Amino acid sequence: MKAALLQMVSGTNVNNNLDTAERLLEQAAHAGAELAVLPEYFCLLGQLDTDKLLIAEAYGDGPMQQRLAAMAKTYGVCLVAGTLPIAVPGDATRVRNTTLVYSAQGVDMARYDKIHLFCFDNGRESYDESVVLQAGDTPVVMDLPSRDGHTWRIGLSVCYDLRFPQLYKQLTQQGAELLLAPSAFTHTTGAVHWEVLLRARAIDNLAWVGAAAQGGKHSNGRRTWGHSMWVDPWGQVQAVQAEGEGCVFTELSIDALRERRQQLPLRSSPLS
């Protein structure tokens, strides 16, 4: 199955960001991709954390969700819509950082709310997603039939989740063969941890890993690491783009995954 990671450098204008997402999705579709993945916060990297609250939509309703569904249907691609702010009923001070997945027919296939919320402070830059985000609590695995006849089991995750291998163990135990991690890693942490974490999750689970990233200098002054990356089940990097917007392609092979899992069977530890 051909798949694409859509790397972006999102700004403070939602419509402009959606236009960029659609342009990249069109490129991916024309290249034959069946699956396309947008990065975390693809719709908005605002001036303030609270800007997310201003554009939040109720789940299943709203202009962003309508456009994403229409994009997936127009281009005939399964679209993993990075993350967008989904309202928390009864709490106007929090949103969920939510991945929504739309089928090639524009149907909502899956929802994952980011479980692990980023917190970082090195004295020069600081982030605390819990200020405006409410954490999710449920791992999500979905099925995606491909043109080659295989139905892929896909485990969903987001960015900071990468630091918690137990989540990916749960996804693999539910049958995940492909692990996706839309991200907006900071340049500071990404430079030292990004590739290591992605390759580790692939090796831990003998699974394909795909991470669509924000990559560059944003209009709000933030700089993200980029390096959207495909990693195969043996932990080898198959494709990567350092910075700037673009499509990063790979051919996902279920045969390669099965071969590696046969060579090195995953077995439960007595301590697990």
Alpha-carbon span 79 to 177, nearest angstrom: 18
> Is 159 annotated in the active site?
yes
Name beta bridge partners: 110.
101
CATH topology for 2-263? Nitrilase/N-carbamoyl-D-aminoacid amidohydrolase (3.60.110)
Side chain identity at residue 154, one-letter code: I
Tokens of 133: 């985000």
Question: What is the C-alpha separation between 150 and 144, in angstroms, rounded?
Answer: 8
Catalytic residue (one of 43, 78, 159, 247)? 159
Quick: pLDDT tens for 229-263.
999 999 999 999 999 999 999 999 999 999 999 99
Residue 22 is among the residues annotated as catalytic for this protein = no
Order the strands of the 246-251 sheet from edge to edge. Answer: 108-113, 91-102, 78-88, 35-37, 2-7, 246-251
What is the rounded CA–CA span in Å between residue 41 and residue 95?
Answer: 13
Residues 83-118 have pLDDT tens digits of 999 999 999 999 999 999 999 999 999 999 999 999
pLDDT in tens, 186-210: 999 999 999 999 999 999 999 999 9
Catalytic-role residue among 43, 52, 114, 243: 114
Q: Read off the pLDDT of residues 49-68 as tens digits, 9 standing for 90 and up.
A: 999 999 999 999 999 999 99
Residue 269 has what pLDDT?
58
Is it the case that residue 127 has pLDDT exceeding 90? Answer: no
pTM more than 0.85: yes
Average pLDDT over residues 122-150: 94
- Residue 164, pLDDT > 90, answer yes
pLDDT higher than threshold 90 for residue 272: no
Asked if pLDDT for residue 125 goes beyond 90, the answer is no
Q: Is 243 a catalytic residue?
A: no
> How would residue 126 be classed by pLDDT, with cut points 50, 70 and 90?
confident
Over residues 20-32, the mean pLDDT reads 98
| Domain range summary for the chain, segments of one domain joined by + | 2-263
Write the pLDDT tens digit of every residue in 214-227: 999 999 999 999 99
| Catalytic residue selected from 34, 40, 129, 177 | 40
Residue owning tokens 């539910």: 174
**What is the reported pLDDT for 220?**
94
Token pair for residue 161?
Answer: 């989740």
